[in-house]
């Protein structure tokens, strides 16, 4: 049995990016630990920003974690930094906003969990923070440093195949012209940088249950919510759309194609 720690910025991030991998590892008998930096109390929802929303989202997080087979959930206790209209750092963020946290101090907090768990693997985000949310960028910075401090041997950056994503976005823009395709051109990671492609179709039900646990994020705001739209996808199509999770492990040759998070024997494609 090995231990994998999944580090995320807000409740529901784990369901969107790594839920299938988490369920797979738990099913294989490994210890899965979920760490979140914030309670997501400034996320878009029908409830107003603040403690009530934070409590609701933490309850949702624990339900998601149970559906995925997590052995432990840890909250680092930072404030949700929020997001400005232009996608940057919000001006009205709280005093303890995660984006303003001292990197070394925050990393020490996460490293203490990694050491306590004797973690074999840590997942973070790519340097862009996926789609660029400030708290996601901070997860990369803090997580990278925490792994150095704790000596965690495997660090995987949870991401999305940008090439595949752009194809889907361009197709969707034909029907929804308001979609800004350019905003996705630097999001996540290019295909040739991805080292791990994990097949999680077998765990689609667990992943869907994790998404459904975050009910507060399926509604709210003027437009359609991404999570709500994902949950409307029929089961057979859901397994296809969300059947792969992608990761980048630094230091491996470009073109490496690995299939399991703990697989460290690279086999480069011709």
Helix (H/G/I), strand (E/B), else coil: 179: coil
| pLDDT at 14 (0 to 100) | 97
CA atoms of 147 and 257, how far apart (whole Å):
23
Q: Which residue has the higher pLDDT, 73 or 82?
A: 73
Q: What is the pLDDT of residues 217-258, one digit of tens each?
A: 887 655 567 788 888 889 889 999 999 999 999 999 988 999
- Where exactly are the structural domains of the chain? 3-249
**pTM tops 0.85:** yes
pLDDT of residue 270: 36
- Count of CB atoms within 10 A of residue 112's CB? 14
Give me the mean pLDDT over the 176-180 stretch.
75
Average pLDDT of the chain is 91
First to last CA, the chain: 33
CATH topology for 3-249 is Rossmann fold (3.40.50)
């Amino acid at each position: 049995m090995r231990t994998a720690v999944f580090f995320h910025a807000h409740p529901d991030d784990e369901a969107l990016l790594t839920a299938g991998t988490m369920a797979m590892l738990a099913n294989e008998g490994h210890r899965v630990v979920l760490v979140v930096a914030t309670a997501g109390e400034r996320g878009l929802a029908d409830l107003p920003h603040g403690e009530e929303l934070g409590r609701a989202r933490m309850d949702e997080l624990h339900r998601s974690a149970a559906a995925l087979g997590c052995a432990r959930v840890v909250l680092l206790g930072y404030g949700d930094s929020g997001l400005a209209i232009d996608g940057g750092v919000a001006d009205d963020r709280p005093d303890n906003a995660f984006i303003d946290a001292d990197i070394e101090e925050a990393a020490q907090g996460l490293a203490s969990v990694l050491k306590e768990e004797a973690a074999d693997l840590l997942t973070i985000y790519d340097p862009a923070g996926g789609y660029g949310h400030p708290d996601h960028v901070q997860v990369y910075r803090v997580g990278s440093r925490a792994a150095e401090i704790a000596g965690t041997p495997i660090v995987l950056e949870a991401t999305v195949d940008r090439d595949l994503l752009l194809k889907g976005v361009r197709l969707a823009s034909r029907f929804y012209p308001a979609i800004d395709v350019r905003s996705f051109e630097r999001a996540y990671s290019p295909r040739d940088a991805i080292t791990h492609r994990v097949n999680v179709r077998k765990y689609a039900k667990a992943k869907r249950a994790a998404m459904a646990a975050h009910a507060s994020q399926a509604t709210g705001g003027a437009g359609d919510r991404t999570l709500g739209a994902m949950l409307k996808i029929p089961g057979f199509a859901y397994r296809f759309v969300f059947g792969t999770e992608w990761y980048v492990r630094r230091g491996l040759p470009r073109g490496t194609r690995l299939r399991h998070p703990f697989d460290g024997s690279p086999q480069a494609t011709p």
